[in-house]
Amino acid sequence: MAAKKDYAAMCSAIVSACGGEQNIANVAHCMTRLRLQLKDASTFDESAAKAVSGVIGLVVQNGEYQFVIGQDVPSLYEEFLKIESIAAGGSVDDPQTAKVDHKDHGSVVNAILSFLGGTFSPVIPVIVAGGLTGAVLTLLVNFCGVSSDSGTYQFFSCINQATFYFLPVFIGFSAAQRLKSNGYLGAFLGAVLLFYTIGQGNDTVYDFFGLAVPAVSYNSTVFPVILGVLLMNVAYRWFQRVLPEVLRTVFVPLLTMLVTVPVTLLVLGPIGYTAGTVLADVLINVYRACPAVAVAFVGCFTPFLVFFGMNNALYPLQFILMAEVGSDPLICAGMTAANLAVAGACLAAAAVETKVEERSVAVGAGVTAMCSITEPGVYGVLFTKRFPLVGAMIGGCIGGIIAGITGMTQYVITACSFIAFPAYIGADGSLTNLALALTVMAVSLACAFVSTFVLGKRAAIKEQTAE
């Protein structure tokens, strides 16, 4: 049995490795990672950070220091909340006080993916809860006799629909927080887009000083509000800098929105909507051209996305697919194969491991990977021993090929594993896709287990021969 973690000691050690509490600009967390931004990156002690007991891995992206902890990361986060000098939730009180070093943190593409991943990470609990509520609704209607006209149905449907209809509000808040701007103004922008969408539904035609505002529905979209928040951040910081301090409280938010809203509704929103539509067409055409290869690619290389903290950056693509085809036969299908393959590789690594402590780590990582949390396995097993990584890639690739050939899909965006089995049941109650999903999971796990076991035995023989 693993020893109970001392979160207070972990917090103290991480703070020390980061150059002290006065050097930490802000702290936030996602499902498995503690995310810190520092004022002076030169004081960060990477070796000490990696050596902290309880830290599975460390990822540094565009000025953000991600400590991979596991599903118990909220307990560690609570210790940071006790430090009054550290801002929580990814925000900084004065945008001019925290000068985070962004030098040498990767390419423009890496910065974009990091921004998207950091934006969607805090929203994951909302997406998972809303998505699974839709899956539960499918079970209630098709297997529990709940009528679509009943109050029970409306109750669960309200939770599910609100999650995705108001997605621009959640994304607006999170994107602004990610940029260390005003999160509430980001949410306000999302609400404005949705109100405009409601107006379009009432056949209201808008013009702005003679300029026709394009009729676009922004509910459930992500790119329009993200582009708007990027502009809002620039305007907010400029007004914050040029206006006298006595006027900032009233006029900074007012002028920021007066600039941001018209430009977003006239230009950025339609551009984001069009870009999403084009990207959806590209994804769908790639999938239709060669579904087995497309899904196998996702299944094979998902561990690398997790390792570099880029897996959450795929959420915009998943929402696009959901909007266009009503399910995700590409990203979610590939990740389902990948997650179970990671589980199989970790369990096989445990089977060939002779050290009790490392075997315990591998078993725990395998179990959590079955529940769609793969960071412990990726950082603690796959990339430390290497042969489990190869085994997981083989299992994910084979599972992805089967998923692509059979057309296996996922009907709601939530965890990609057997614990979210209702997500694979069709709206009409058909269990065919669920059977396909369980087959993909079983094959992925089994192939990864066998591949990793064989590779592990060979590695052990080589080590014995070398000795």
User: Is the CB of residue 318 less than 8 Å from the CB of residue 220?
Assistant: no
Tokens of 347: 């369990």
Give the gyration radius of the chain's Cα atoms.
24
User: Which residues are bridge partners to 339 per DSSP?
Assistant: none
Side chain identity, residue 3: A
> How far is Cα 273 from Cα 290, in angstroms, rounded to an integer?
26
> How far is Cα 437 from Cα 411, in angstroms, rounded to an integer?
11
Tokens of 145: 């006799």
Provide the pairing of β-strand 207-208 with 87-88.
unpaired
Q: At what angle do helices 245-263 and 223-242 cross, to 10 degrees?
A: 150
H/E element, 88:
strand 87-88
Q: Which of 2, 86, 74, 104 is nearest to 39 (CA)?
A: 86
| First vs last C-alpha separation in the chain | 32
User: Is the CB of residue 201 less than 8 Å from the CB of residue 165?
Assistant: no
> How far is Cα 401 from Cα 97, in angstroms, rounded to an integer?
51
What is the dihedral sign for C-alpha 36, 42, 47, 48? negative
Catalytic residue among 30, 300, 332, 397: 30
What is the dihedral sign for C-alpha 418, 422, 427, 430? positive
> How far is Cα 232 from Cα 242, in angstroms, rounded to an integer?
15
447 is catalytic: no
Nearest-10 Cα torsion for 371, 376, 378, 379: 170
> How far is Cα 382 from Cα 341, in angstroms, rounded to an integer?
11
What are the strands of the beta sheet with 33-38, ordered from one edge? Answer: 57-61, 64-68, 33-38, 24-29, 87-88
Q: How many helices (H) and strands (E) does the chain have?
A: 19, 7
Residues 6+ apart with CB under 8 A from 54: 5, 6, 7, 10, 69, 76
CA 146 to chain centre: 33
Q: What ranges in 58-182 are assigned the alpha helix state H?
A: 73-81, 108-120, 124-143, 151-165, 167-178
Q: Which residues form the catalytic set?
A: 30
